[in-house]
Structure 1
């Protein structure tokens, strides 16, 4: 893949006369790669500096003894052709040559007594299932499924242009699409899911509905539940071949095919500023690289506090990274992941994903559990190449607090590793209880804590998705994108992209890179250009490239990986 020493020399302060404007992008996550792709398509010359050895940021995977542990994607919005989100992925080459797995079941929820509810993506099948399960709740069941059919029938546009740059034609097209569904959108956006769930008499449905998204995003209204379930039904929320790292590698391939250059193991130490203008970056090794514009597509607090030395901010960033950062409900919670390697097949006829609601005694044994639930995904049952022949892999996750993990790692590394061991032991015992005999076939358990996420991706608080929609942070993030145009006052030649400057989610991260390039083209007086990738080479495992082991791993029936 692209290396740190490839590409033209950018150590000179001035670029060659007549050459295209140069852009440095910090971070090779989806937002950084997208920024680079769109800038290259628009005739700019770009370089991306990435501290890690892989692209994708949190959209990643790693290898352990022949297993591939895919970290990010549960479902991907934009897999249906003809949608605006799909257009973004086509322009970025993200789905080139890939098949997409679609699920007729979004999730199953099982309570501590073994009673279960299955959230089918088909509204008719879901309604029949729920009515059979809880006939006394016929009224709210029919209301929910009726709204689900309405969401499946409307074609909500994906905003390909930031609001300040939209033409009158684009605005009218959005209005024509949204106005007929306005009452539906307004009503479901102002109805909290927690409140709606309380309308149900059945205790399982009251608890299960908010965890339809595997775990409960606090404060979410009905709208995103209906939108996402409808997207899964219409084929717009599938799982792409190659998974998370495969998605990142495809966009990386698109970027380099457009002439972009990526430097891996290139940690940016600071952004160089002269007379109120960003002019380049200085890497940790002391080398300096100069450009006409710098785009920071990485962790927001790190950009402002470390890379800019605390010298620049805005009312929006002050509120996001100061006031709202520690206020509950604004950041997506951190996640603990336990990847389980199994000798032999997975249990037959099981849904691809199940949320288990834990009894108090179980929840008390799961370190740092925030919601007393555990999600179990049968990853190798629907994704090829994730396990060696004859073996299987599961991905178990739960929302967890960041601070207790961080404090323990700082204070006592041995105790920190012991806590990860507790997670591994719980997962092994729990899987053996829910699927008798499975525990004896477990070959390894690899645990990634919120601190692991922070160490390898730089994401503050170990939050994978950063700012949560429908929170206090949403309006402020929208101001940063739309009113401030992803800029900071008093600092020219600089902009931000990614989920720390907008909202969480892969399609939003990719779209923020599109916005950053559009704003930059407008500033430079150059036309913004974008077109679909024409790469038709079928996806194959070789496209994952070299998969680092990252850290030493201890293998055993109940032992987690020792990587921190």
Structure 2
């Protein structure tokens, strides 16, 4: 089996293939595994890009079982948080979002007593979600045994009204009923920024999982997670060829028979899995010759429509000497004035999120230092057009973003500018360049319509394309956003292809008990060292693209 892409889904397909007795090989265009679950290094710093929280960190559920099978959490501790996020308005007014329903209710009531009825209703439903165990990550619906379907129905049916209410109500519509405009806006930014078209159910589900201890930050962060899965895959006998860009999938008589790399080198296999960008798969790897009505709808109707893709990010990493005050939240969303927001190129929302990454991931900053990650949702074309048409202007614009972020942090924490030692800026064009994700979308879809199509891709189409045998898809474009869904899509694809090949599917947990250590990351990738120049705040800070 050949797999295109060594992201989490690709390595999951490979790992389950190896467990099931198949010989697998992954071709990856980058120098490291992980896809969007990534980071890079510079001078003793690790700029961890991906995980804000991971679902499945507590034993005893199917999400955690997937991670145990993939070795993702082997030997690692997990940092959990009692407060998910804090939101601060331009006038300094703030509200926090504890994961405990009782504390959350008290916090929200203190913020807006006039909205008591809505607040109590929201928190009552959150309490109901904490009592549910819903982790559909082990088996795709067509292959799920009847007894497991009945067990799921036994969980879902008694909570039908809860799911109907939470799944059928958009957060924007719910918050529009609040009398306090600040709290209404803050609720929409509970998960750092406002996705704009989410229903209540992902808020209830994620907060409930966090309260139950099943959401957290694994030791080693994003690169650590990817490296652990890579180690598991290679220990099972799998092989990854890095710096190997696949140019096309080879098709003979309606069957995928291998791949051709850029440069013309060909490799043949009994089965091919594309665990990479779906648009590139259809348009480039398959040359537009093979698709499906479901995938066509996703790529030609849903993708071009405004607001259907998860927004891209601009991320500014700031490394400082020392730390911020202990009472500072690990994550804070700051609403910005019109004037400040105008200084963030491509900004889609008037906000800036500040994560204290080194509080959540030990060892990513040198001893005695701290790392902040400041980001905002951004338009893709603003950055792509600049990088393509005027590289000098692109770099200057990145410097402008860095300068504003340092100035803003100085307002929040006077004197911090004198402690800055590193500044790294990543744009949507950076994300597209290193991961291949269409338009730099970090989690693929945020569309209810896309969710329905994903269900069809998994259930009816079985992650395959009509008229093309020996081929499957995996990844967040066809399996849904989030790392656990990416991993699950790999598990599903492996089950489907094993069925097609007549091979029994096997899944066994990793037995690696070695304690995790940063030395296991190996050599860290570096972004382009295109410049080292003065950032207009504090002492000299090194910047990169």
Structure 2 length as normaliser, TM-score?
A: 0.97
From 173, 177, 181, the equivalent of 2:159 is 181
Partner of 1:165: 143
Q: How many Å apart are 1:365 and its aligned residue?
A: 1.0
Partner of 2:86: 108
Partner of 1:486: 463
Find the aligned partners of 2:535 and 2:71 in 1 and give their Cα distance: 40
User: Which consecutive unaligned segments of at least 5 residues does structure 2 have?
Assistant: none
Partner of 1:208: 186
From 57, 62, 73, the equivalent of 1:95 is 73
1:374-523 counterparts in 2 under 5 A?
374-468=352-446, 470-523=447-500
Partner of 1:267: 245
Q: How many Å apart are 1:286 and its aligned residue?
A: 2.1
Partner of 1:540: 517
Q: Structure 1 stretch 47-56 or stretch 339-348: which is displaced more?
A: 339-348
Find the aligned partners of 1:265 and 1:170 in 2 and give their Cα distance: 42
Q: How many Å apart are 1:557 and its aligned residue?
A: 4.3
Find the aligned partners of 1:29 and 1:68 in 2 and give their Cα distance: 19
Find the aligned partners of 1:163 and 1:414 in 2 and give their Cα distance: 51
Q: How many Å apart are 1:80 and its aligned residue?
A: 1.4
Contact map agreement 1:346 1:381 (CA 8 A) in 2: no
Partner of 1:248: 226
Q: How many Å apart are 1:444 and its aligned residue?
A: 2.3
Q: Structure 1 stretch 481-490 or stretch 47-56: which is displaced more?
A: 481-490
Contact map agreement 1:354 1:376 (CA 8 A) in 2: yes
Partner of 1:527: 504
Contact map agreement 1:28 1:55 (CA 8 A) in 2: yes
SS at the partner of 2:508? coil
Contact map agreement 2:44 2:366 (CA 8 A) in 1: yes
Contact map agreement 2:457 2:463 (CA 8 A) in 1: yes
Partner of 2:286: 308
Structure 1 length as normaliser, TM-score?
A: 0.94
SS at the partner of 1:425? helix
Change (3 A) 1:561 1:369: farther
**Is 1:121 paired with 2:102?**
no
Partner of 2:527: 550
Contact map agreement 1:347 1:435 (CA 8 A) in 2: no
SS at the partner of 2:479? coil
SS at the partner of 1:501? helix
Contact map agreement 1:443 1:556 (CA 8 A) in 2: no
Find the aligned partners of 2:122 and 2:50 in 1 and give their Cα distance: 29
Q: How many Å apart are 1:555 and its aligned residue?
A: 5.4
Q: How many Å apart are 1:33 and its aligned residue?
A: 0.3
Find the aligned partners of 1:555 and 1:176 in 2 and give their Cα distance: 62
Change (3 A) 1:220 1:561: farther
Partner of 1:6: none
**Is 1:44 paired with 2:18?**
no
Contact map agreement 2:6 2:26 (CA 8 A) in 1: yes
Find the aligned partners of 1:277 and 1:561 in 2 and give their Cα distance: 51
Contact map agreement 1:50 1:262 (CA 8 A) in 2: yes
Find the aligned partners of 1:563 and 1:431 in 2 and give their Cα distance: 19
Deviations 1:35-73 (A, max 9, x none): 000111111110011010111001001002211000000
Q: How many Å apart are 1:255 and its aligned residue?
A: 0.4
Deviations 1:127-155 (A, max 9, x none): 12222222222111111111111111222
SS at the partner of 2:24? strand
SS at the partner of 1:393? strand
SS at the partner of 1:466? coil
From 141, 145, 151, the equivalent of 2:129 is 151
Find the aligned partners of 1:225 and 1:171 in 2 and give their Cα distance: 25
Q: How many Å apart are 1:157 and its aligned residue?
A: 3.5
Deviations 1:469-492 (A, max 9, x none): x52211122212211111111211
User: What count of residue pairs does the alignment treat as equivalent?
Assistant: 541
User: Which consecutive unaligned segments of at least 5 residues does structure 1 have?
Assistant: 1-22
SS at the partner of 1:500? helix
Deviations 1:387-440 (A, max 9, x none): 011111000111000011111112211111111111101100000101111122
Q: Structure 1 stretch 303-312 or stretch 236-245: which is displaced more?
A: 303-312
Q: How many Å apart are 1:313 and its aligned residue?
A: 1.2
Q: Structure 1 stretch 449-458 or stretch 274-283: which is displaced more?
A: 274-283
Find the aligned partners of 2:262 and 2:276 in 1 and give their Cα distance: 16
1:356-371 counterparts in 2 under 5 A?
356-371=334-349
SS at the partner of 1:188? helix
Deviations 1:88-130 (A, max 9, x none): 1011010000000000000000000010000011111111222
Deviations 1:348-399 (A, max 9, x none): 2111000001111111111111011110000112211110111110001110
Find the aligned partners of 2:192 and 2:408 in 1 and give their Cα distance: 17
Contact map agreement 1:485 1:519 (CA 8 A) in 2: yes
Find the aligned partners of 1:267 and 1:159 in 2 and give their Cα distance: 30
Output the aligned Cα RMSD: 1.3
Deviations 1:194-214 (A, max 9, x none): 111122222220110000010
Deviations 1:421-472 (A, max 9, x none): 111011000001011111221122111000000000111000111122x522
Find the aligned partners of 1:227 and 1:438 in 2 and give their Cα distance: 37
